[in-house]
Amino acid sequence: MTGPLLVINAGSSSLKFETFDVSDGTPRRNLRGEIERLASDAPHFVARDGEGRPVERLLGADEDPLAVLLAWLGEHGGGAPCAVGHRVVHGGARHIGPALIDDALLAELATLVPLAPLHQPHNLDPIRRLRTHAPSLPQVACFDTAFHRGHSEVVDRFALPEALYAQGVRRYGFHGLSYAWIARRFAEVAPTLAAGRVIAAHLGSGCSACAMVGGRSVDSTMGFTALEGLVMGTRPGQLDAGVVLYLVEQGMEAKAIEHLLYYESGLKGLSGISGDVRDLLADGGARARLALDVFAYRAAAAFASLAASMGGLDAVIFTAGIGENAATIRAAIVQRCAWLGVALDPARNATNSTQISAADSKVAAYVIPTDEEATIARETLAVLAAR
């Protein structure tokens, strides 16, 4: 293949991109950048060229960010991309792996927008734009749900009528691109432990935990949508469905409830300050402490549930922004999991070492940085190779 492989991870306010040299069939990272403030009148293009020099400029109101990106890559990024891999949060029940994008797949993924309104529309937008600017450019969708599609029916079922299950109302699980990377990396770091029973906790703005046996997902805290499970930055996680019924009975409209659950809850709702752990740790007030305590409590409870799902526990892995950098949060979670046999080495934990468990800990604990973009690059290459 000629030209770099482009990887896009698009969100509501920014579009992150990376390019990979795939000339020998193995992805090697070249450069990365971001188009920020997409919702504003003046998006901001930030990148580094092939020689590491920073490139920054504001985009005009009439400029399409994807057209600017393609032009910049052609001049500074090793030429026009040979293909594009996209993070797509929801792949539904049918997709167990990455897929080449065509009209039918794009239409199918659009039907899943109500299940991931915070992510799916923004994942699909650059796909559509690139199909306009470069219609012959192969594009591949890499799904956050695919890693979890091997769950047993017992794990994926809600206690609801069969007709709803047939319509796709089931537990899907998310953050799969992150967990796929963690499973691969942990097999290199600690192969014996990786073959056993592992809980990986992706703790960032969005949070979930995944039970893996032999590197495969067997259970996850997230379900039908990305609202279930752990407390998150602005999402509540575990919630009695009766709360939603109550809000409806009080006259709250569906869109207002959606906004409440996706943007005003979680750490932000509990603290009244922020959904960012760094802000809450710096604040130190009573509401900030309450929010962080609830965060740790729910995470520890989820660890216990996932350990039960696997029939035991051999290792715990922390990843993503909070998991990789917030030593005090890791300590608070593990302290509540002491009965499971997890104990931290305070010095190692404070420095975000790879292995942070104490020498006498019955369950090992690790910090492993995630790399969703590298997973997308590998999955995209696999799809192209199979064409």
Q: Which residue has the tokens 């404070």?
A: 350
Token pair listed for 297: 């409590």
Contact of 232 with 206, CB cutoff 8 Å: yes
Using DSSP, state whether 12 is helix, strand or coil.
coil
The β-bridge relationship of strands 315-319 and 364-367 is parallel
Sheet holding 99-100, edge to edge: 54-58, 44-48, 28-36, 15-21, 5-10, 83-88, 139-143, 99-100
Q: Which residue has the tokens 């470069």?
A: 134
**Does 156 qualify as catalytic in the annotation?**
no
- Which DSSP string corresponds to 180-195? HHHHHHHHHH-HHHHT
Question: How many Å apart are CA 21 and CA 130, to the nearest integer?
Answer: 20
Question: How many Å apart are CA 233 and CA 116, to the nearest integer?
Answer: 16
Among 49, 62, 103, 144, the one annotated catalytic: 144
Residue 174 CB contacts under 8 Å (≥ 6 apart), including other chains: 89, 90, 116, 144, 145, 148, 206, 208, 220, 222, 226
Give the residue numbers marked as catalytic: 144
